[in-house]
Amino acid sequence: MKKKIYFSLALNILITAFEISAVILSIIEYGGFSFFKFYTQDSNILLGISCAVMAFCKIRFLCSGKKISDSVKLFTYIAVCCTTLTITVVLALLIPNAGGYTMKNFSHYMLEGSGLFMHFVCPVLALVSFICFEEIPLKFSHTVCAIVPTLIYAAVLFVLNIASVLVGPYFFLHVYEQSVLASVGWTFVVIGGNYLMSVGIWAASRKKSF
């Protein structure tokens, strides 16, 4: 049990460090904090915060024996579901829409700059850590909680796009360049996919416990 806790702690600290590096890279790449319009950055910042909190709670558990609260685990679960959606959208939608799976496109999205951490390394490490090393006493009803950040993001971005304050930043948010039916369809695809992932992650993580 102690080995799992130590390994999980190391992964949470590593992910936190990677996310801090990725945010710094994002600030440099976008010349400020305009990157907040991207779900990628938002979901990864959420993950970084959740991993930092989880790491603190694990250190406290090792030092004092105080158990990690279910709310912290739920927070981490939600963040992992969000970054899993991020990597899935990149692989299933953004790369194909950019011209297909060429080495140039794959490298641009998955291996360069902040994308290396936010599109690839951190989502994968977080998913592995959560499924393999976290105790999950959550109820099935908690799977709905995992899509709340995505619903909030979608609602805000659709309003901004409809008001012409923002365009995109993703092609499926271009409300004036596609039909209403297409916008509704993309919403169901992304939100529905997010929920299916949340159920899958919930089910897989329940097989492992400290």
User: Average per-residue pLDDT in the chain?
Assistant: 94
According to the model, what pLDDT value does residue 91 have? Answer: 97
pLDDT above 90: residue 2: no
Tens-place pLDDT, residues 10-22: 999 999 999 999 9
Beta carbons within 8 Å of 148's beta carbon, 6+ residues apart: 78
pLDDT above 50: residue 209: no
Counting residues of the chain whose pLDDT is more than 90, the rounded percentage is: 88
According to the model, what pLDDT value does residue 3 have? Answer: 83
Q: Which of 146, 133, 124, 120 is nearest to 202 (CA)?
A: 146
Least confident of 4-13, 116-125, 135-144: 135-144
Instruction: Compute the average pLDDT of residues 5-10.
Output: 93
According to the model, what pLDDT value does residue 81 have? Answer: 97
The one-letter code for the residue type at 74 is L
According to the model, what pLDDT value does residue 208 have? Answer: 53
pTM value > 0.85: yes
Q: Which of 89, 95, 126 is nearest to 109 (CA)?
A: 95
User: What are the backbone dihedrals phi and psi of residue 178, each rounded to the nearest 5 degrees, phi first?
Assistant: -150, 165
Tens-place pLDDT, residues 49-88: 999 999 999 999 999 989 889 899 999 999 999 999 999 9
Grade residue 207 by pLDDT with cuts at 50, 70 and 90.
Answer: low
Angle between helices 39-64 and 148-162 (to 10 degrees): 150
User: Does residue 37 sit in helix, strand or coil?
Assistant: helix
Instruction: Compute the average pLDDT of residues 186-194.
Output: 96
Q: What distances in angstroms separate CA 29 from CA 89, 115, 151, 203, one per listed residue?
A: 21, 11, 27, 37
According to the model, what pLDDT value does residue 210 have? Answer: 39
